[in-house]
Amino acid sequence: MKRGRGQSAGLTGDMVLGAAMELVDRDGLAALTMRRLGSELGVEAMTIYHHVPNKDALLDGLVERLVVDASAPLSEEGTWQEALRGFAHAWLAALRAHPNVLPLVLTRPAVTTTNLDLMESVLHQLERAGFGLGRGLDVIYAVTGFVVGQAALSPVEADAQVDELAAAGLEGHPLLAEAARDSATQQVDRFDYALDAMLAGFQSVVD
């Protein structure tokens, strides 16, 4: 039974964000309204405002939950390459687990404490490796942008691109034809290949 206004029955901000994520995962961003979320939680819509101040904060909270999923503690013992590689894989997994939240990542800066803490930690490792702070921030944005772009293209779609190219009539394009055949047989992980190339390029800046 739906409870009255102000009756949260132990409701927490984390529970609100969890329900919002489940709703978006199931029905898409367009379905996320305070009224619908309240119905999911069994409370009046106004009760949610005891836990999130407004809709913008709710949307930022969804992005932050993805960052939390991708924020394994960064070891001081590891290299900056290992830290960024681990983050990139965790970030990709989080985005692919919640594809309906991807538009928020593309459109909202979501400058929250969790996001800032993660960036601060990565910047610390990059500074120790010899990067200037401004260049280190460029590295972070380059890697996160690359991952978001990869997440927008599912693994199945990425493989289909090569399959479609190989099946196309490529007479007059012998290099493309051979490249498509090689790519299909080698089955190289393009994400790791491109990520490693990026990290090697960043290393050249401080060598």
Identify whether 6 is part of a domain.
no
Range of the domain at 33: 13-52
My answer on whether 129 and 30 are in the same domain is: no
- Which of 109, 98, 37, 34 lies closest to 69 in space, CA to CA? 98
**Vertex 163 angle, CA 199 and 184, to 5°:** 55
Model pLDDT for residues 167-206, shown as the tens digit of each residue? 777 778 888 888 877 765 555 578 898 999 999 999 988 8
My answer on whether 191 and 90 are in the same domain is: yes
My answer on whether 80 and 36 are in the same domain is: no
Q: Is the pLDDT at 140 greater than 80, yes or no?
A: yes
CATH of the domain at 40: 1.10.10
Question: Per the structure block, which two tokens stand in for 190?
Answer: 């393009």
Tell me the C-alpha distance between 118 and 73, whole Å.
9
Q: Is the pLDDT at 102 greater than 60, yes or no?
A: yes
Q: How many domains does the chain have?
A: 2
Tell me the C-alpha distance between 161 and 153, whole Å.
10
Q: What's the pLDDT score for residue 159?
A: 62
Identify whether 132 is part of a domain.
yes
Question: Per the structure block, which two tokens stand in for 84?
Answer: 């960024």
CATH of the domain at 84: 1.10.357.10
Q: What's the pLDDT score for residue 76?
A: 62
- Which of 23, 127, 35 lies closest to 65 in space, CA to CA? 23
Model pLDDT for residues 8-64, shown as the tens digit of each residue? 558 999 999 999 999 999 999 999 999 999 999 999 999 999 999 999 999 999 999
My answer on whether 83 and 183 are in the same domain is: yes
My answer on whether 105 and 193 are in the same domain is: yes
| Residues 67 and 116: beta-carbon distance below 8 Å | no
Identify whether 136 is part of a domain.
yes
My answer on whether 112 and 41 are in the same domain is: no
Alpha-carbon dihedral sign for residues 58, 62, 63, 69: positive
